[in-house]
Amino acid sequence: MRIVSGENPNVKRKFIRNISISVFGILLFLILAFNSIYTIKEQEQAVLITLGVAKPVTTSGLHFKIPFIQNVKKVNTTIQGFSLGYDSSTNLNEESDSLMITSDYNFVNVDFFVEYRIVDPVKALFASENPVVILKNISQSCIRTVIASYDVDSVLTTGKNEIQSLIKEKIIATLNIHDIGIQLVNITIQDSEPPTAEVMEAFKAVETAKQGKETAINNANKYRNEKLPEAAANVDKILQEAAVVKEQRINEANGQVARFNAMYEEYVKNPLITKQRMFYETMENVLPSLKVIINGSDVSIDTILPLESFFSTNNTDNNTFNISPDEEGLE
């Protein structure tokens, strides 16, 4: 008697084996396919590592690599940042990083925010174990060095921009020496304040006084700007009036000189007559009511009226006053 089975065991095993091989092949293909391509975004750069040799890949888009032989590591090239002196997530002060001493031996809390970006992905990955930590340590060192060279007033008020610039220069110079593939973009002072409330109140009072000083200076400058044009106008007016008076005086002096020269010419021609005329003119100016009567050319005595101009007594018997303007008397 023959027993016929429904299926041949060998055929079944062969079928299962073929299915397994097909599935394995598909899986292997998918694994190889997914390990053969990679994508770089706009804000990324990649490092392609081939048997230990690193090569940067800076072009964004789809790229291919050899599976299991080449590895890809991606880095973020956008501007990133970290805080120093406070926790950016909770905004709480971290005194171990913020407390510093100034050149005049005062303590102050200063918070900074550091911005950086990766410019060389190969160096950023392989030149150091953690370049961000190195940047943080460099920043703290440069910050404390610069803060220690300024007094507390500069740190809290007027010197912030200068301090930021100097710190940035020092950090950039140190990064260039270490060459870890990171570039400093900017460093800014977020806040600066005294460590205690009492000192803070004192500094607020000082700041209020400084603002009052600035207000007083501004008011004084305003008053000066208002008064200077008025004073300049007055100066111009005085100068113009002085110029007019000067011109008048010069003209008067020139006229008197011309008159004197003319009189001198007449005097040279007729000295005696000129002396007599000058005498009479002078007497007319001194005594406007004086009257001179010339008796004649052959008489050397002239009569001058009225007598009241010469005498204060009540003697009215004499009504004449005689004067002889001879040449010797006039000299």
For 151-189, write each residue's pLDDT tens digit.
988 888 888 999 999 999 999 999 999 999 999 999 999
pLDDT digits (tens, 9 = 90+) for 70-110: 888 889 889 999 999 898 888 888 888 888 989 988 889 99
Q: How many CB atoms lie within 10 A of CB 298?
A: 5
Going by C-alpha positions, the residue among 118, 184, 192 that lies closest to residue 159 is: 192
119 token code pair: 């410019």
3-class DSSP state of 116:
strand
At 315 the pLDDT is 44
pTM (2 d.p.): 0.53
Structure confidence by residue, pLDDT tens digits, 60-80: 878 777 777 888 888 988 999
Nearest to 187, CA basis, from 140, 224, 231? 140
Average pLDDT of every residue of the chain: 79
Can you give the pLDDT at residue 134? Answer: 94
CA distance 125 to 77: 12
| Single-letter amino acid, residue 312 | S
Instruction: Name the CATH topology of 80-195.
Output: Tetrahydropterin Synthase; Chain A (3.30.479)
Q: Say if residues 331 and 271 touch (Cβ distance below 8 Å).
A: no
Flag whether pLDDT at 318 surpasses 80: no
C-alpha angle with apex 286: 281 to 291, nearest 5 degrees? 65
